[in-house]
Copies of this chain bind each other. A is one copy, B any other.
Amino acid sequence: MATEIERKFLVRDDSYKKLAFAHSHIQQGYICSERGRTVRVRIRDERAYLTIKGPSLDGGLSRYEFEKEITLEEGHQLMLLCEPGLVDKTRWLVRHGGHVFEVDEFYGDNTGLVMAEVELSSIDESAELPDFIGVEVTGDRRYYNSQLRQHPYCKWGDKS
């Protein structure tokens, strides 16, 4: 099993919207977000999914994951049970220099935040960056999904 390397960036302008080959609307929340067991509800466009993840094993290389598609009605009902801090975003996919950049445009309490991620197959692999890519924030905990739920972007004092 390969280790995945993800680099994360802020986004400078909205040119990614014209460059994107696909986009989808994602809402997600957590019924349970304890370390070692998370129960996530996600609605992606008109489809809903329930995902349960176990603890990371083998130093983060593997993790049990259970995912089932559920009805949209069940998705909306389960979303009502989630912990505070739903994430609401549009994910845009942009192909550039042999990589796919996922650009997340956030709404709700995280309105104003736009983040791009690219997955690399090793730490040595370099990525050619499109013009809309701004400051790199890889490893900055404030941008973790779990942090964005508890400390949304609208409450940050210093947004640099």
Contact = CB atoms under 8 A, between A and B. Distances in A.
Interface of A: 31-32, 34, 36-37, 39, 52, 54-55, 64, 66, 68, 70, 74, 77-78, 80-81
**What is the copy number of this chain in the assembly?**
2
B68 A81 contact: no
The 5 closest A-B pairs by CB, nearest first: A32-B32, A54-B81, A37-B81, A39-B39, A31-B37
Contacts of A70: 66, 68
Contacts of A34: 32
Nearest to A54: B81
Contact of A78 (B31, B52, B77, B80): B52
A146 to B, nearest CB: 16
